[in-house]
C-alpha cells in the first residue's frame, strides 16, 4: 500500500482530459458497491456479484453522507442508498478537488484478488502539476493491519457470507503550499474510489504528546465511567486540541464530554478542568476505524508538564484501542460524568494504559519530531510516573537550547513491536498489544502525525530476537526511509542495542543485529545515523549493555541508559539544511525522486 512521492511532470505527460473538464467525484460514480442484506443482488463491487453490507456499514458508524476523519483527512462516505452508484472505477477521470495541504487522501478498495495500482496527476491553481502512484489492497484479501475499517460479512447474489470486507485510506503527497484544483485518477483495473480529499497540513499546530495504538484488548468494562488520563507534554503553546482514535474497532465509541487541565498531583487538577468541544458539541461519536479532533481551545499548555485529560464514556465499553505500556498511572471514576470535577474524590481506581487518547497538539511552534520504536522508546523499565523515557529527556534537551527549534517530541514506541511482522493482526479483540508492524503503522503513526518534520527509526531488536534475518529487517527501514522522504520528512535511523544475557538474544541473533547495524552505519538511505549501540554497549563486551545502563534484564536500559541515549543525540541532525527558522522545509530529497523547490540536499550531515 505504498503511496509514492509527488514529482512535477511536463504538461504533455498528463492524460487527456475528458470533455467538459473536472467534475465532483459523486458526479462520476459509475459502480454500486453497497447492498441491503435483504436485496444483495442490487450491488456488485467486484464483478462477481459480491458487495458491502449496508447494515454492517451502519453498525460501524459509516452511514450515508457521514464525514469521517482517518489519518487526519476528512472523507465523506457516499450519500447514497443501497444499490445506488457510490464509487468511481478509476479510469483516468478528472475529479474536481480543492484545498491546500500536505497529502491527498483516497478512500478506496481494490478488486480482482490482488493489489490495484496506477499513476495519476494532481493539478494546482498556479498551473503546476505533480504525479502520484496509488496502490490499493484487495477488499477481501488485503492486509487487515492497514485497513481503515473491516466489516464482518460480504453480501453475494446467493446471500451473506461470513468473510471480512475491507476499506482502505491511502495518502499521496502534494506540492506544499499550493492550492489543488483537480485530480486525475489512475487508469487501473479494479481500483474503486469512494471519496478523496486534501488533508490539511496542520499549519499553526505542533504535536506535543502522542501515543500509538498497539491493539484492541478487553477493558473494564466501563459503563458510565470517566477516564482521567495523565500525559506529559513536550512543547507548550497558547492553544490546545486533543485527538482520540477508534483504531482497529468494529463499532463506534461515544464520548459524552471531555476536559483538559494541568495536573497538581494524582487525579487532582491544578485548576478547574476546562471543557472541550467537538465541532461545537460537548461530545462526539467516533466511527469504527476513525478519529476525532477536539475544537481548538484557548488554554495555555505548559511545556514539559503533566496534563489531565478527562472524558466520560456513557455507554458500555468492553474493548477499546489501547496503548498498553503507559509507564504512568491514570484514573477511572465511579459512575457518572466527572470530567469537570475539580477534585480527585470520584476517581477511585487506577489504570496503567492509555485508551482512545492518541494526541495532544499545541498552537504555534515549529512542528514535531516523531520517534518510531519498540519497548525501549516506549519506556519499558523506566521509573513509573517519572517521565524518564528517552523521548522525554530528548524533549527537555530541546526546550533548554536555542541551536535548533523547540520541536515537539512524539513518542510512537510500542512495547514488543517489530519492523516487518505484525504482532497484533490489526483486527478484532486480542490480548496482544504489541501492534502491527512498523511498516504497517507508518502512515498512521508517523506520516499523519501533526506537523511531523523529522522521524527517528529505532527498531529491530525484537525482529532479530525472533529469528528474522538481517536482510529481512533491513528491507523494512529502507522502505520506511523512502516513504518518509516522499512525504517530505527528514529520516534518521538509530542502531540496535546489544542484549546478550537476555534469553532470546542468542549468538545467532546478535550476529543478525550486528549486520543490521553495519548497514545502518554505512547506508545512504537515511539522512543521519544515531549510533545508540555505541553509546550503551560495554566496551569490554560489545554484545552486552554496559552494566551501569542496564535495567537488569539485559534488554532494556534503565533510567541512566535512557538518559544517555537522549543526551547522545546531535540535535542539529533533527533540522535539515532545507529547514527554515520555524523548522518547516522548502525542499525534499532529490535522491528519492521527490520534488524539490530548491537544490538543498537533505543528506549533508551524518553522525556516527
User: Considering the entire predicted model, what is its pTM?
Assistant: 0.93
Q: Is 326 found in the same domain as 397? A: no
Gap between the Cα atoms of 475 and 330, Å rounded: 38
235: in domain:
yes
What is the CATH classification number for the domain harbouring 567? Answer: 3.40.50.1110
Same domain, residue pair 394 and 415: yes
Task: Examine the fold and report which residue of 331, 354, 377 is the final residue of a domain before the chain moves on.
Answer: 354
pLDDT band of 579, cuts 50, 70, 90: low
pLDDT level of residue 603 (50, 70, 90 thresholds): very low
Is the distance from CB of 448 to CB of 372 less than 8 angstroms? no
Residues 6+ apart with CB under 8 A from 355: 219, 227, 229, 320, 321, 322, 323
- Dump pLDDT digits (tens) for 65-110: 999 999 999 999 999 999 999 999 999 999 999 999 999 999 999 9
Instruction: Single out the residue in 330, 354, 378 at which a domain terminates.
Output: 354
Residue 11 has pLDDT above 80, yes or no: no
Do 278 and 409 belong to one domain? no
Q: Are residues 170 and 309 in the same domain?
A: no
Mean pLDDT of the region 290-297? 98
Residues 140 and 60 in one domain: yes
Which among 328, 354, 380 is the end of a domain? 354
Examine residue 322 and state whether it is found in any structural domain, yes or no: yes
Summarised one tens digit per residue, pLDDT across range 313-325 is 999 999 999 999 9
Q: Are 454 and 589 in a shared domain?
A: yes
466-502: pLDDT as tens digits: 999 999 999 999 999 999 999 999 999 999 999 999 9
- Grid look-up 552505519 returns 521
Q: Are 435 and 341 part of one and the same domain?
A: no
The answer to whether residue 204 sits within a structural domain is no
Residue 1 is assigned to a structural domain of this protein: no
Segments forming the whole domain that contains residue 524 = 366-608
Q: Check whether residue 251 and residue 322 sit in a common domain.
A: yes
Instruction: Kindly give the pairing relationship between strand 452-458 and strand 490-494.
Output: parallel
Secondary structure E strands in 344-425:
347-351, 354-355, 357-363, 368-373, 408-413
Q: What is the mean pLDDT of residues 555-570?
A: 98
Are 403 and 459 within one domain? yes
pLDDT at 606: 33
For position 587, what pLDDT does the model report? 35
Per-residue pLDDT for 597 more than 50? no
Count: domains in the chain: 3
Q: Are residues 417 and 550 in the same domain?
A: yes
Asked whether residue 447 falls in the same domain as residue 569, the answer is: yes
Q: Which of 243, 399, 218, 406 is nearest to 311 (CA)?
A: 243
**pLDDT-above-90 percentage for the chain:** 90
Distance from C-alpha of 461 to C-alpha of 496, rounded to nearest angstrom: 6
Residue 217 within any structural domain of the chain: no
How many residues appear in the chain?
608
Q: What pLDDT, in 10s, does the model give residues 224-275?
A: 999 999 999 999 999 999 999 999 999 999 999 999 999 999 999 999 999 9
Separation of CA 201 from chain center = 15
The answer to whether the CB of 373 falls within 8 A of the CB of 459 is yes
pLDDT reading at 9 higher than 90: no
Per-residue model confidence as pLDDT tens digits over 37-51: 999 999 999 999 999
Query: 326 and 377 share a domain?
Result: no
Residue 219 falls within a domain, yes or no?
A: no
Given a cut of 70, whether residue 330 has pLDDT beyond it is yes
Q: Is residue 597 one of the residues assigned to a domain?
A: yes
The answer to whether residue 159 is domain-embedded is yes
Q: Report whether pLDDT(592) > 70.
A: no
pLDDT of 608 over the 80 cut:
no
Output the DSSP codes for 263-290.
Answer: EEETTEESSPPEEP-BTTBS-EEE-TT-
Amino acid at each position: 500500500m505504498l503511496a509514492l512521492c509527488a514529482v512535477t511532470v511536463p504538461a504533455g505527460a498528463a492524460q487527456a482530459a475528458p470533455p467538459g473538464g473536472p467534475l465532483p467525484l459523486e458526479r462520476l460514480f459509475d459502480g454500486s458497491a453497497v447492498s441491503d442484506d435483504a436485496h444483495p443482488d442490487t450491488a456488485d463491487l467486484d464483478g462477481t456479484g459480491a458487495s458491502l453490507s449496508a447494515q454492517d456499514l451502519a453498525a460501524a458508524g459509516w452511514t450515508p453522507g457521514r464525514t469521517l476523519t482517518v489519518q487526519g483527512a476528512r472523507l465523506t462516505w457516499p450519500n447514497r442508498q443501497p444499490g445506488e452508484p457510490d464509487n468511481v472505477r478509476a479510469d483516468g477521470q478528472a475529479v474536481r478537488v480543492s484545498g491546500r495541504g500536505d497529502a491527498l487522501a483516497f478512500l478506496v478498495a481494490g478488486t480482482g484478488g490482488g493489489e490495484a495500482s496506477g499513476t495519476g496527476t494532481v493539478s494546482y491553481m498556479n498551473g503546476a502539476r505533480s504525479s502520484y502512484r496509488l496502490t490499493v489492497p484487495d477488499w477481501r484479501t488485503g492486509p487487515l493491519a492497514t485497513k481503515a475499517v473491516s466489516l464482518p460479512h460480504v453480501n453475494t447474489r446467493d446471500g451473506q457470507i461470513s468473510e471480512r470486507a475491507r476499506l482502505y485510506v491511502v495518502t499521496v503527497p502534494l506540492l506544499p503550499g499550493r492550492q489543488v484544483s483537480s485530480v486525475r485518477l489512475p487508469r487501473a483495473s479494479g481500483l474503486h474510489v469512494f471519496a478523496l480529499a486534501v488533508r490539511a497540513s496542520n499549519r499553526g499546530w505542533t504535536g506535543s504528546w502522542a501515543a500509538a495504538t498497539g491493539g484492541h484488548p478487553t477493558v473494564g468494562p466501563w459503563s458510565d465511567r470517566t477516564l482521567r488520563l495523565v500525559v506529559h507534554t513536550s512543547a507548550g503553546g497558547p492553544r490546545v486540541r486533543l485527538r482520540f482514535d477508534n483504531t482497529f474497532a468494529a463499532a463506534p465509541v461515544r464520548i459524552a464530554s471531555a476536559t483538559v487541565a494541568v495536573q497538581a498531583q494524582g487525579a487532582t487538577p491544578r485548576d478547574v478542568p476546562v471543557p472541550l468541544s467537538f465541532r461545537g458539541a460537548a461530545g462526539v461519536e467516533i466511527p469504527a476505524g476513525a478519529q476525532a479532533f477536539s475544537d481548538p481551545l484557548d488554554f495555555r499548555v505548559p511545556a514539559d508538564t503533566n496534563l489531565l485529560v478527562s472524558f466520560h464514556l456513557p455507554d458500555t465499553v468492553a474493548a477499546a484501542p489501547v496503548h498498553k505500556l503507559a509507564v504512568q498511572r491514570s484514573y477511572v471514576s465511579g459512575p457518572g460524568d466527572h470530567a469537570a470535577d475539580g477534585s480527585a474524590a470520584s476517581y477511585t481506581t487506577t489504570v496503567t494504559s492509555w485508551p482512545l487518547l492518541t494526541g495532544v497538539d499545541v498552537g504555534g511552534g515549529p512542528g514535531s519530531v516523531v520517534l518510531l520504536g519498540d519497548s525501549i522508546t516506549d519506556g519499558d523499565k523506566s521509573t513509573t510516573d517519572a517521565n524518564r523515557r528517552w523521548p522525554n529527556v530528548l524533549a527537555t534537551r530541546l526546550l533548554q537550547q536555542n541551536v535548533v527549534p523547540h520541536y515537539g517530541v512524539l513518542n510512537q514506541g510500542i512495547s514488543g513491536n517489530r519492523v516487518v511482522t505484525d504482532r497484533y493482526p490489526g483486527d478484532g479483540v486480542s490480548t496482544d498489544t504489541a501492534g502491527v508492524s512498523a511498516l504497517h503503522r507508518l502512515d498512521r503513526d508517523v506520516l499523519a502525525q501533526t506537523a511531523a518534520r523529522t522521524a527517528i527509526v529505532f527498531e529491530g531488536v525484537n525482529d532479530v530476537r525472533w529469528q528474522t534475518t538481517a536482510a529481512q529487517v533491513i528491507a523494512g527501514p529502507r522502505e520506511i526511509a523512502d516513504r518518509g522522504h516522499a512525504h517530505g520528512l527528514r529520516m534518521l535511523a538509530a542502531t540496535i542495542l546489544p542484549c546478550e544475557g537476555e534469553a532470546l538474544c542468542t549468538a545467532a541473533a546478535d550476529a543478525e543485529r550486528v549486520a543490521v547495524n553495519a548497514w545502518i552505519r554505512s547506508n545512504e538511505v537515511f539522512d543521519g545515523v544515531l549510533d545508540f549501540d555505541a553509546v550503551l554497549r560495554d566496551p569490554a563486551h560489545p554484545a552486552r549493555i554496559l552494566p551501569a545502563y542496564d535495567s537488569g534484564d539485559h534488554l532494556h536500559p534503565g533510567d541512566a541508559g535512557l538518559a544517555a541515549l537522549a543526551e547522545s543525540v546531535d540535535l542539529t541532525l533533527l533540522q535539515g539544511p532545507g529547514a527554515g527558522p520555524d523548522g518547516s522545509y522548502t525542499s525534499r530529497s532529490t535522491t528519492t525522486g521527490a520534488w524539490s523547490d530548491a537544490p538543498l540536499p537533505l543528506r549533508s550531515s551524518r553522525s556516527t
